[in-house]
Amino acid sequence: MNRISVAGANPHLSTGGWRPGSLGALAAAAALARCAPSRHVVLVHGAFMGGWAWDAVASQLRQAGELVTVVNLPCHDPGTSSMEGATLDAYVDRVGQAVDAEPLPAVLVGHSMGGMVISQYAERSPEKVQRLIYLAAYLPSDGQNLVDLAFSDTGSQILGAAEIDQETGRVSLARDALQPILCGDCTPEEAKVLRDRYHDEPLLPMATPVHLSAERFGAVPKAYVFTEGDQTITPELQHRMADAVTLAGAVTLDTSHTPQLSAPGKLAAALQHLLP
């Protein structure tokens, strides 16, 4: 397994001179290759966000020559407050629509809650998935649900801040908790975008267990992007989940839970490094 660590203002590969964030070099390499993309990168967002959170990363990956689709999960459209129709199966269906929109093998990138979704999709259609990449994401075992995994993470700051309303089927976070918990390294402008586009999260998908098998989900190669400054899914839980599988690659970023907002260049380059 190729494991790298990225930290500080001048991050580098532990084995040499690879620099995360050097998207100009990646784009030049793609142009030099004179070839069409060989894979389809599908980006799946996490809780309390939408596909918008991937905008900067998706743009940089496309500049580097990748074919990218950004998924917006059901009930996560801007301005949507209804939880109706939000189920784990519906989330997986939405990912399936994105995968099937292109003929190339898919690399699924799941952030946070999105890790549950890409795992279940890989169980459903392993032949369509070239690799799973987990970004500070829940990486479940068979029978686990997100709620159980979250409550096992005793160091997480989100546990004391989240309000669960079982009657309306939603989970909410106070606006003033968003930056310190989800994006402590965001600028004030980036944090404002997070607050402005925040919405409550449907509870049902979080409480639904995944069903995974060694023959299907287990056969799909996996990689992980660890986030050392994470207050949402602690590095301890990230490593505990990742240690339960065999990783094809790993990157460690010295960021908060959402590097797609605070460090999109670093993240885009790290994802490029982990692509098959």
Give the residue from 71, 102, 70, 75 showing the smallest Cα distance to 86: 75
Catalytic (active site) residue 112: yes
From 22, 112, 172, 262, the catalytic residue: 112
Contact 204, 87 (CB under 8 A): yes
Alpha helices by DSSP H, listed for the chain, are 23-33, 55-63, 88-100, 114-124, 146-151, 158-161, 175-182, 188-197, 204-207, 235-242, 259-262, 264-274
| C-alpha to C-alpha distance for 203 and 18, rounded to whole angstroms | 41
- Stated length of the chain: 276
Q: Distance from CA of residue 245 to its chain's centroid? A: 17
Contact 121, 96 (CB under 8 A): yes
- For 213, which DSSP code? -
Looking at the DSSP bridge assignments, the partners of residue 215 are none
Residues identified as active-site:
112
